[in-house]
Structure 1
Amino acid sequence: MSSPTEAPEPPLSAPRSERWTYFCPRHESSWLAEVIAADERFSPAPAGTRADFAWVHTLNETELAVFRSARVRGGNGVSGVEVLEDKFKFALLTQRDQCKDANLESYACESIAQLARVCAAVFADKNGKAEAGTWIVKDARANCGDGLFVVMSHNWRDVIASLTSELQTATAGRVPPSFVLQKYIEEPELWNGKFKYHCRLFLVLRADGAAFLHSHALAHVANKPYTLEPDHVADPQVHLSNVSKNHSDADLFHGCPIIALEEFFGSNRLEAVCTLFANVFMAARPFMEHQQAASDFCLIGADLMFETSGAPRLLECNVPPGIGNYDSHVPADQYAFTNALFSTLLDTFVLPALSGQTQSPSAPSGTETSKGQSWLQVCEPRSAFLPQDAERRGFNALSWKVYQRRALKGPGNRPAQPQQNQEQQQPSAA
């Protein structure tokens, strides 16, 4: 892969005397609403008019028409991006050849019964030895650190029993959950040599296939020192670095330290991270082939962890990340960082698109933004792009449905069966 390049230098102001109009739902909590409302280059679109820019976190029927009619769509603006957001689909996606070397061994399970069978196979003794190590069960529909369970050979049956009981008492009509069983990183790189952590990286994936990594990120750090001792396997403040599981303990909470990727990662690891994302986005491209406009984009909050070997591992993608959930816990420097993040998002991906500057498939070049933040290109756009109507965009979901049906039954979604020991393999003497 070529070295990542910086996104285009943004214009200093809108290329016309009047303001650009925008639509952002009143319930929007992803920080963009606050930033764009304070930006003098934008004003709210009057009711019943077409907005220049629309940002929607989760679409509903009321907002769908407004969103689709806007000139530029952001937030959740790429059709088919759920293959990255949905943990169940993401587990199947990362079984594709492009992703296998960089991501964690994962199995997608359509039910608790299937999860139980997969766990039984994973934790089965192999020649009399329990070699499976540590795994993590994920409820594919849960967020904010909920629905995560660290499992080992001694406790996986208890976790299955608890999930089964919870499902039996769930409200009638609830859609049964799907699950992912993912290999746990047993030797993670530790924050200050002591605490488990992951990096919350920010990326933009554009509808034409181009992808960009933000130059700065946040570190999410677990409150308590890391250990794999069985007595601590159920302690979320040891094993879960999600902010939602740690911020309530003010005495132990590390905050969300800001990290500059080039300085914190180093050039070699940054290159490895860019390659990882390029491979993931290329693996997902067949399921996001049909789009409304090249300049539409989604914001991704990707959670990435390093092993002690330095190898990066992508845990999951949040599209878009709910950054506003913990605003009461954000110190002044992180508040300023997040404001700058969304401001440069407008500068780099919205204003140039409104000015017609993002249609070229050539690799962009440019300089760092005035706010000290920049976007590094990690994936080239498609060589050609044709806008598609809503009916054609439905083929993204159809392509995924075909792939999912095949992948669920494929060898990549089945753990290796335990081998019989030597004595069992010998045929009996006549």
Structure 2
Amino acid sequence: MIQTFRDAWKIPEIRRKLLFTLLMLVVYRLGSHIPVPFMNNEAIQQLFQSQQGGILSFMDLMSGGNVSSFSIFAANIYPYITASIVIQLLTIAIPSLEALSKEGEVGRKKIAKYTRYLAVALAAVQAIGYTFGIFRMAVTTTNMFQNLVIILSVVAGTALLVWIGEQITEKGIGNGISLIIFAGIVARFPRDIYASILKAAAGQVSWAWVVVFLVLAVAIVFFVVALNEGQRRIPVQYAKRVVGRKMYGGQSTHIPIKVLMSGVMPIIFAQTIMSIPSIIVMMSDPNSGAAKFITNWFTPQGDVGIVIYSILMMILIVFFTYFYTAIQFNTVEYSKNLQQNGGFIPGIRAGRSTSDYLNRTVNRLVFPGAIALAFLAIIPEVLTKFTGMHFSFGGTSLIIVVGVILETARVLEQQLLMRHYKGFLK
């Protein structure tokens, strides 16, 4: 792998792309230290301490610490991701958008423009929720104009991140949006490691738990890699056909069906729904009877809530895994495309039989992936509850980190193979 990076660095074009990608990520990290005006950072830190291990900690982890510092990137890139998901779902439901998606490059640019507009609108909604909801106790404004400055700062930060992500995708190496999320999560790892060591040195937690966490982190990395790379290859044979004086087809190929086709999206969807009780508590009086009931029964901070939360979280992850996989892999359309191109699965009739076979195969393959994804998601919450340490090296964070590394490695591998360099793949 080291030799592959050396070979890539020797190629001027790839070297420029790598430097551009690193420069854009540096700009992102520098922007993470620009605070939003009219916000009391001490009040925000007190709120985080009172909600340690809750939804705010998760939001802060996924944003690279931008929420706890309330920088201009407090909303991060997630309004754009949410907008992309919404547009993708609407493309299936609205015929005009579906037709637009089939118009090639022109249609893709229009859909990308709609996604940006929706992302800005969602960022504005999130900024308003921060200003007048979750962080209302930290706002030090005296008039509506100053509130507007806070909202516009957060929205402008999201818009800048969208631009940075698109620039990395176009002129750099890898997917820009994924790399921004990756950089934010990785930036938190040294801080969490240092905090864990300090807790162990102060006697707040046992050193044995630190060792267990490190071993478990390595095991999760291997497990996530296997989960991301696991797939079943369904053989496909194309019939020979003569067109004019030439013969086409006759080759054999396969359909790669991944175990974790949906990626991390089911966790994000499930986490969003399960965060509603915590958000209700934060936006109300925490000492009220209703707030205490919700905290004890429906949040990870409660003794009973951690069990109910874990069970509901697993059910939602399994549901959304099947839901998102069905959106991504349409077995009916895939079967039609195979039949139109003269392809068939050996031993399976073309048409509906192929669609049913693919559907059964996907359902059987997705189930263990969904269960594994659910366990990875709840491990950090359970360990944080029963050990007192903030375990951020598992679940969503590691799935994203490992997935982005593998994706970027593939992109670099393709760049090298185009120039006949020996890369990662053997």
TM range (shorter): under 0.3
Higher RCO (C-alpha 8 Å, min separation 6): 1
Considering fraction of residues, name the structure with more helix: 2
**Could you tell me the TM-score, scaled by structure 1's length?**
0.24
Q: Which has the larger radius of gyration?
A: 2
